[in-house]
Amino acid sequence: MREAFSEQLDTMFQDLATICGDVETAVRLATEALLRGDAETAERVISGDVEIDLARERVEDSAFLLLSLQQPVASDLRTVVAALRMVSELERMGDLSVHVAKIARLRVPNLAVPDAVTPLIERMAAVAEDMVVRVSKIITDRNVDDALALVHADEEMDQLRRASFAELLSADWSHGVEAAVDVALLGRYYERIADHAVSVANRVVFVVTGEHPGAVDR
């Protein structure tokens, strides 16, 4: 019985890693749509979000079934509850990718991002995507050191976010209010993807150690 329960927990984490892979694809395609003004790719991201939602529901159903049938002990209960919170974070990351895609679609045939800030948005997107890729591996390996290291990538994202505000508030900004709003929103969306990635990684730390990351940071 115990072995079967452990296998079910492992399967749940495999499902989380799969969802994370789907989120990575959504982030990448949304960015492509944004930078190329590609409405078709934007639509793929928007319509594909339903698959992430359905996958979240399947993980939730599995978790609730385990809770109701297995009466898990403290460490297992911690794992199941963490999985429920992690899948919610992953779904939200997918939603944020949809927001990026919708901005891209809204501005077609034009580009939402002015040339002057394209390198900045490209870097924010690259950092966000890399963090999602790393989170998928963290979920699979449950590696505490890798999870804690993700914080450093988030620090870069915070710096990029501040740089985007500096661009928007600069006296040299000449791209109008519409572009300013788009850039501000895009910066927020990528920053939040990064924040959710760190939150998922922190929950992995909690699953493995039973402690919140601040208590095991080194």
Residue 69, pLDDT score: 76
Range of the domain at 159: 2-216
So what's the pLDDT on residue 31?
98
Residues in Cβ contact with 66 at an 8 Å cutoff, skipping those fewer than 6 apart: 5, 8, 9, 12, 72, 80
Which CATH number do you get for residue 34?
Answer: 1.20.58.220
Rounded to 5°, the CA angle 60-66-72 comes to: 125
Provide the number of structural domains found in the chain.
1
Q: Low-confidence residues of the chain, pLDDT below 70?
A: 1-4, 70-73, 214-218
pLDDT computed for residue 216 by the predictor: 45
Specify the pTM.
Answer: 0.92
